[in-house]
């Protein structure tokens, strides 16, 4: 089993989502002794896509400049980690009712027409099929699935758009209201999680 472990929280050791992703990965490793884990801390920086990225990655010039080659290599590296993974464990702290900018940048880097999805006569088709995603959702005040949770639905949609339809959440929400209860809900979800 190949596991891609992604963290995105800006709160360091105080991060609930980082603790949850570590617990999820440990649970998977306990059941799969041959598990191989690739770790990426998105907080260390994921370049946002821009006009230069579009010219290099999407337009794919025949003779890319050194700067364009660097942009292509970065995007390819993110995508290869996903392609090689059987399971994605994604930490998603909620900031202002949505996913972090770092996680959004990463998703923009891997959502590539003709590579991770394609357009067909029947509509778009995700090309990253056969993978499982487990999202560690943490929020101070945003209840998962609430009308002002703009993160969980988006993550389920964008991953599904890319072909990853087996998406589960381990949620520690409403932590500012009742931290112990939020952590208990996350532990219960973790305990029920099939490894």
CB atoms within 10 A of CB 105: 17
Quick check: 195 pLDDT over 80? no
Q: How far apart are CA 180 and CA 188, in angstroms?
A: 12
> Angle formed by the axes of helices 179-192 and 16-31, to 10°?
20
- Element containing residue 84 per DSSP (H, E): helix 66-84
Which pTM value belongs to this model?
0.95
CB atoms within 10 A of CB 94: 25
Q: Tell me the per-residue pLDDT of 108-128, one tens digit each, with 9 for 90 and over.
A: 999 999 999 999 999 999 999
Residues of the binding site: 15-17
Tell me, what's the pLDDT at 194?
Answer: 84
Domain residue limits, the chain: 2-192
Q: How far apart are CA 93 and CA 107, in angstroms?
A: 15
Residues of the binding site for FMN: 15-17
Q: How far apart are CA 115 and CA 118, in angstroms?
A: 7
Mean pLDDT of the chain: 96
Mean pLDDT of 66-75: 96
Q: Are 110 and 90 in contact (CB under 8 A)?
A: no
pLDDT grade for 60, boundaries at 50, 70 and 90: confident
Give percent of the chain above pLDDT 70. Answer: 100
> Angle formed by the axes of helices 66-84 and 101-110, to 10°?
90
Reading the block at residue 7, the tokens are 């963290």
Q: Tell me the per-residue pLDDT of 78-89, one tens digit each, with 9 for 90 and over.
A: 999 999 999 999
CATH class of domain segment(s) 2-192 = alpha beta
CB atoms within 10 A of CB 90: 26
Q: How far apart are CA 109 and CA 95, in angstroms?
A: 20
Q: Tell me the per-residue pLDDT of 6-44, one tens digit each, with 9 for 90 and over.
A: 999 999 889 999 999 999 999 999 999 999 999 999 999
């Amino acid at each position: 089993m190949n596991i891609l472990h992604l963290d995105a929280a800006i709160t360091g050791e105080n991060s609930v989502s980082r603790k949850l992703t570590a617990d999820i990965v440990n649970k998977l490793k306990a059941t799969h002794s041959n598990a191989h884990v690739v770790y990426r801390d998105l907080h260390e920086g994921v370049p946002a896509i821009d006009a230069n990225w579009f010219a290099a990655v999407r337009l794919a010039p025949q003779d890319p400049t050194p700067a364009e080659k660097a942009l292509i290599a970065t995007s390819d590296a993110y995508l290869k980690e996903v392609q090689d993974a059987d399971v994605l464990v994604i930490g998603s702290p909620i900031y202002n009712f949505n996913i972090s900018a770092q996680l959004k940048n990463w998703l923009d880097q891997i959502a590539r027409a003709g590579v991770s999805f394609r357009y067909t006569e029947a509509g778009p088709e995700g090309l990253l099929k056969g993978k499982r995603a487990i999202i560690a959702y943490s929020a101070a005040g945003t209840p998962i699935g609430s009308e002002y949770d703009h993160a969980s639905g988006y993550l389920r949609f964008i991953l599904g758009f890319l072909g990853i339809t087996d998406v589960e959440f381990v949620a520690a929400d409403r932590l500012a209201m009742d931290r112990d209860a939020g952590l208990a809900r996350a532990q219960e979800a973790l305990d029920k999680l099939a490894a």
